[in-house]
Amino acid sequence: MKKYENIQHEFQPVFDTGSQILILGTFPSVKSREQNFYYGHPQNRFWKVLARLTGERVPGTIDEKKEMLLKHGIAIWDVIASCDIVGSSDSSIKNVVPSNLHQVLDQCSIKQIYANGNTAKKLFEKYQKADCGRDIIGLPSTSPANAAFQIERLLESWRVIKQYLI
């Protein structure tokens, strides 16, 4: 049986002063932690969905991913700064220390915050909504664990972000 580990989020948010939207995940998966960057599991559809919505090719390197995000006014981060977790399982998360979202919100003009998945939305509402005074719109998770949503169905839901893309 796998056991809980206390894990610290080790990489910074991606944003600049031109960021218009903030997409929040829950906490980096084991694969993302190994790569030291967001959405690192090869089966996660995050980069494919954003590439389709922005009309870009799917980025391969971390630099290409950052470039695509910033070019289109997208900031990304995670709701959790540290927690106890078993592997990559969002359902196992406990002892949450939330991220300080003001690090992003105070430096750019974020028009809307979106959650990549229901767990990210619930955790934001529990730990950060009152502090930031902002609402969040939940989008279906791009995680491979969300097998009910094939890519076309994800794209249909995620299209709402297009109104804010640069």
pLDDT at 2: 77
Six-digit token string for 57 = 């090719």
Residue for token pair 């948010």: 13
Q: What is the mean pLDDT of each run of 10 residues along the chain (166 residues)?
A: 87 96 94 93 93 97 98 98 89 93 95 97 97 96 87 95 93
pLDDT at 1: 66
pLDDT at 119: 94
Six-digit token string for 47 = 């980069």
pLDDT at 19: 97
Six-digit token string for 53 = 């919505």
pTM: 0.95
Contact between 127 and 82 under an 8 Å Cβ cutoff? The reply is no
Backbone φ and ψ of 103, nearest 5°: -55, -30
Residue for token pair 């959650």: 115
Domains of the chain and any CATH numbers: 5-164 (3.40.470.10)
DSSP H helices, 26-150, are 30-35, 46-54, 62-71, 102-105, 118-127, 129-132
pLDDT at 54: 97
